[in-house]
Amino acid sequence: MSALKDRHILAVAVGNTRTRLGLFVNGELQDVQVAPSAATADVLAAVRMAIKDHAGVAAVMSSVNEPATDRIESALDEELGEVYRIGRDVHIGMRHSLQDASTLGQDRLLCALGAYARAQQACVIVDAGTAITVDFVDGEGVFHGGVIAPGVRMMLASLHTGTSALPKLDWSDPDYGAGPYGKDTRDAMLKGVRAAAIGLVRHVVESFAEEYEAYPQIVATGGDAPMLFENDPVIEHIVPDLQLVGILEACKAALAEEESTFGED
């Protein structure tokens, strides 16, 4: 891990559908790129775009999609020669109260780590991507877990595959110019899944606040967050690259722990 001290960190978050990556230069995130996780060549092209004009780059990867991550890691290793993985090489040093953390997705914990590092107070993290997760971190930085639900694209797909008549739709922002009523099947489906997503978040946030006996800061991230929550009064901040911030924070904590251990010796 000490080798990361003098490197620019290329944070790479491999998701189920999309891979988001960005270069941290002196702690500042720049050159954020997105590519399909299944298209390794596209991810590699995005990496080259992100790191152009920069030397001394090391990649640190998180994953909720191991097959895609293995392929991308192999390509990055040939490109950069220095690749680390969250969980294997870099520990996420965040306390939790879970009964079983063995299946906890790295994306959820990294987003929580990034959110708390920035907020330094109790917060709810809404990650709107392939799935929608809503998680809670208390004022001491302890991760307490949350809920997992289908994302809007998954809901639309299930409506199509689970029925004989509903069409296959791509997700897009519904048209509310004619009011809240869906005026045709497509409009009704889009408004329905959007309402389901927003209603889920509001209900869960209220239950978290009631349990915590205080109203935490609410942060949204993920590819669908801007379309779902741009003007939503419940969401205080939208941070599209929260997981990348979490990767950087995990690296900083690991380096600090290593330096502290070395100092004790």
Q: What are the catalytic residues?
A: 107
Work out the end-to-end distance of the chain between its first and last CA atoms, rounded to an integer number of angstroms. 17
Q: Which amino acid is at 135?
A: D
Q: How many residues does the chain have?
A: 265
HEC profile for 45-93? HHHHHHHCCCCCEEEEEEECCHHHHHHHHHHHHHHHCCEEEECCCECCC
Task: State the chain's maximal CA–CA distance in angstroms.
Answer: 70
Ramachandran bin of 81, using left for φ above 0, alpha for ψ from -120 to 50, beta for the remaining angles? left
Whether 24 and 246 have beta carbons less than 8 Å apart is answered as no
